Amino acid sequence: MRKTPVLFVSLLIFSLITSTFTQPTALAQLNLNAAQPPVAERAPHKTDIHGETLIDNYFWLRERNSPKVKAYLEAENAYTDAVMQPTKPLQERLYQEMVGHIKETDLSVPYKYGDYFYYSRTEAGKQYQIYCRKRGSLSAPEEITLDLNELAKGHSFLGLGDYAVSDDGNLLAYSLDTTGYRQYTLYIKNLQTGQLMPEHIERVDSVAWANDNKTIFYTTEDAVTKRNDKFYRHTVGSSASDLLYEERDELYDVYAGRSRDRKMIFLESGSKTTTEVRYIPADNPTAQLKVVLPRETDHEYHVDHRNGLFYILTNQSAKNFRLVTAPISNPSKQNWHELIAHNPAVRIDDIELFANHMVVAEREGGLQKLLIMDLRNKKSHRISFDEPVYSANVSTNREYNTNVLRFSYESFVTPNTVYDYNMDSRQRTKLKQQEVPGYDPTRYTSERVYATATDGTQIPISLVYKKGMQRNGQNPFWLYGYGSYGLPRWPGFSSNRLSLLDRGVIYAIAHIRGGGEMGEVWRDLGRMNKKMNTFTDFINSAEYVIKQKYTSPEHLAIQGGSAGGLLMGAVLNMRPDLFKAALVQVPFVDVINTMLDASLPLTTSEYIEWGNPNIKAEYEYIKQYSPYDNVGAKAYPAMLVKVSLNDSQVPYWEGTKFVAKLRAMKTDHNPLLLKVNMGAGHGGASGRYDAFRDVAFDYSFVLTQLGITN
């Protein structure tokens, strides 16, 4: 049968399904310049709050199962496909470049756990990793523990959650998400026979094995709010589980884990600002849960175990955390012994305990640090790193009785590199560096500069570009930002990004307040009633790179996703003149409506990040910046807004409503596209080749707006 051209099909679908909506009289034509976007119907929805009436004309787009909503989303996709049709050659070129920069058949560095060496590998043409192990030595025969490519058959999406092997190596507890909604089902596989055990436990978020190789502890989420609220004990093969704890405070989630020395099972209950930890001896799984320290408002603490002592990382009288030890028999504060004092300039992120050593992950001056302490004599030193901006993280370390730390290092210029570090001799051994075909690191350089914020604060900006760049104000520039939850965004390597750098694009991260690069104060200065700092910091960062002639508004593109999508929406409303184009991914832009709906996933636990609009003062502050509520009749830059139908973190309708309102109000003729992933969640496509296609699509949109078409 003769094939109908794809473009014609897209436009035909568009013309058929948009008949449901209010729309321009002229339908999209084959001439792409005349393509008309779908126009969403206006159906006013009223919300009365604090003496005001809010009108939401696009509230109806929340009706996920409505045929009308589905048709509208498909119409948006058809329109986007039509507009993007001329970029197909560029998309294909970018995709081939990205695939060409990876080693398609590759394997990870094996790590030892018990009698086995574990690793994962990829095969050319296959979307997902294959998890494997070898018994005794790396020359032993390979055993495949999980082939995600096989498990993905019949599904458009596959996400692996937990992967936990029992101490004897016989049983594997793993969890899968097949929709993108981050709703995981727990399975247990007998690695001796390859058969699945009868357990299929729904909504599992964390798993820990007891020492008896037959008891697992796990946490589950609430079916409606997706808050992790229950903690269970389960004997493998049994038909029931014992509920050991239920977290009833709506601000808290629970998470289960086990100490590296295999002595303790920990259950942490945590809100955005307060934690409480319970424990069970791992060799006595039927014991009662005990509390380490009762919760106190704004006291965050985390616990590990070694040699009969609890190691407690606490922010009690220590904004950036300090480390104390306490006996298990009585870990109350009067029995604390300080091991690392508070340093206002250094934020302690985490600790890793070994038989004779401790590794402390720190942040100082907007950079990651790794501190090694010999616990026998309390002497310490840091691992040194040479580049101006980089990322350094503790890698997989399953063995407790070892003096070797495995860590990973990368930068804007250096591909991910895995090292073994002898904590006694201080000798560093490179095990593997990500192989990037066609990449020459000497062609690129990175730097860190500082923008001055409105209040005088210095905002770090990390940049990378191809050598020979001239600061003439004409360079295409890609500025990324996030700035929420105290989560830092460290400069890492991306082989995909080479497609930008090789086309002369300067790539940068603005380390704005609300993130955590500069410690806890940095976080607090960009949340709750200080949230506006996040947006003005980003604007000031953009102004800085323009003033310093790295670029100009006509050449400046911006990107942010999730809470970074909120950032995009806010700055586009505040300073639309400052940017040429924006990539807005799964954006949290409908802040007031979302935070007023306690039935939505994450809402209640977020009250202490954004504020609770049921409280008048907090409502008034949120209303100042909520992107959906501040869309105006003004000219906006070109925008590509991306949402996912199965997104559990930021519902698809937030970005969809944002686009609908922009279409109705904006005064410019710049492209405004909505792309809806109908079969994935918050993180987009799960297969690696599908993900490359997505990135190529995003790049082609932005590059085209910056005048780069090849």
Active site residues: 562, 647, 682
Up-side HSE of residue 678: CA atoms within 13 Å toward CB? 11
**Angle (CA) 445 706 437, round 5°:** 45
Two structure tokens written together for 544 = 């800085």
Helix/strand/coil percentages in the chain, nearest 5: 25, 35, 40
CA distances from 82 to 29, 581, 708 (A): 9, 19, 19
Runs of H (alpha helix) within 443-531: 498-501, 520-524
Bridge partners (DSSP) of residue 311 are 304, 325
Phi (first) and psi of residue 700, to 5 degrees: -65, -35
Would the CA dihedral through 270, 272, 275, 281 be positive or negative? positive
Question: What is the 3 state secondary structure string of 117-160?
Answer: EEEEEECCCCCCCEEEEEECCCCCCEEEEEEHHHHCCCCCCCEE
Instruction: Measure the CA–CA gap between 433 and 431, rounded to whole angstroms.
Output: 7
Q: Can you point out the beta strands (E) in 492-621? A: 506-510, 556-561, 581-585
Is 588 buried (19+), middle (13-18) or exposed (0-12) by CB count in 10 A? buried
- Run of H or E residues at 620: helix 616-625
Instruction: Measure the CA–CA gap between 293 and 275, rounded to whole angstroms.
Output: 9
CA proximity to 245, closest of 206, 285, 289, 203: 289
Two structure tokens written together for 187 = 């399975």
Instruction: Measure the CA–CA gap between 250 and 602, rounded to whole angstroms.
Output: 9
Instruction: Measure the CA–CA gap between 508 and 31, rounded to whole angstroms.
Output: 36
Q: Can you point out the beta strands (E) in 273-366? A: 275-281, 290-291, 301-306, 309-314, 322-327, 337-340, 346-353, 357-364
CA proximity to 555, closest of 474, 481, 470: 474
Which residue reads 């100042």 in tokens?
A: 624
Contact 542, 481 (CB under 8 A): no
Contact 114, 169 (CB under 8 A): yes
CA proximity to 594, closest of 568, 572, 562, 571: 562
Instruction: Measure the CA–CA gap between 32 and 29, rounded to whole angstroms.
Output: 7
**CB burial string 668-703: b at 16+ within 10 A, e below:** eeebbbbbbbebbbbbbbbbbbbbbbbbbbbbbbbb
Contact 585, 507 (CB under 8 A): no
- Residue count of the chain, please give it: 710
CA proximity to 283, closest of 297, 299, 263, 313: 263
